[in-house]
Amino acid sequence: MNKPTAALVLLLLIAVMQCGIAQTPPNKTVSGQVPDNSIRGQAYQLTFASTGNTIELTVANTATNPLTGVKVAATEIPPWLKFAATEQRISLLKAQQEVAATFTFSVDKTAPVQKNQTLKFVITAPSGEQWTKEITVAVAAPEKFEVYQNYPNPFNPSTAISYQLPAPSGVEGSAVSRVSLKIFNLLGQEVASLVDGDRLAGYHQETWDATRCASGVYIYQLIATDERGSKQMAHKRMLLLK
């Protein structure tokens, strides 16, 4: 008895809930092939540091025989995309039936912003035949300027200072801000300069080694000036205990 040949079509519905993006699946094409549709070259925007995002891949069996054990797997996933599960199995796919495989993921704040990233999804039939679908995503820049409390705090002798930089409205490509991050004592004297240069939009973390400083309260001040000359500033206190 001849084994039935897999005849699958991998359709795509990407619904990034944080961004409100949705693509309606295209019509079926040739059996056993992944349709080449309008999403090629288009980057779907993911919200910075977002959760509850979903990608839905619809597998259609265009054959006259049912299939069991179809696997859909997400591969080549960057570490800043946290998938709840990277593999979905379809236990039964009846003839002429479509079944969705849904992947849920979050975007870590360490993700590079405004840069395209290709995600690959592989569908494997019980016979071992495989098809792939690639989509391009890009993480949008943060919507606001923010400086986080240093960690650990209190600390000895080093601590991390994190911050995020937005992109000016209407700026395309990689947005750059001029950043100054300095440490002062309570007398207003500068004791360290951690950053004095350009930084891309997104999340950044700097480390201050206070080995040569005395115990006490210090203030860190960050000033960011974007490409349009708009300046934002924030300062916070931290405690060095030796």
Residue 35 has what pLDDT? Answer: 34
Positive or negative CA dihedral for 209, 212, 214, 217? negative
What does the alpha-carbon distance between residue 235 and residue 220 come to, in Å, rounded to a whole number? 5
Amino acid letter at 95? Answer: A
- Residue closest to 123 by CA, chosen among 107, 110, 134: 134
SS3 106: strand
Q: Which domains does the chain have, with CATH numbers?
A: 8-139 (2.60.40.10), 146-240 (2.60.40.3880)
Q: Can you say how many angstroms the Cα of residue 24 is from the centroid of all Cα atoms in its chain? A: 22
Whether 215 and 242 have beta carbons less than 8 Å apart is answered as yes
- Residue closest to 168 by CA, chosen among 141, 146, 130: 141
Backbone angles phi, psi at 172, to 5 degrees: -100, 150
Residue 171 has what pLDDT? Answer: 67
53 - beta bridge partners? 105
The Cβ-side half-sphere exposure at 148, using a 13 Å CA radius, reads: 17
- Rounded (5°) CA angle 57-91-104: 35
Residue 5 has what pLDDT? Answer: 44
Whether 56 and 44 have beta carbons less than 8 Å apart is answered as no
Residue 174 has what pLDDT? Answer: 75
The β-bridge relationship of strands 130-139 and 43-46 is parallel
Whether 88 and 103 have beta carbons less than 8 Å apart is answered as yes
- Rounded (5°) CA angle 58-25-82: 55
Report residues of the chain scoring pLDDT below 70.
Answer: 1-41, 170-173
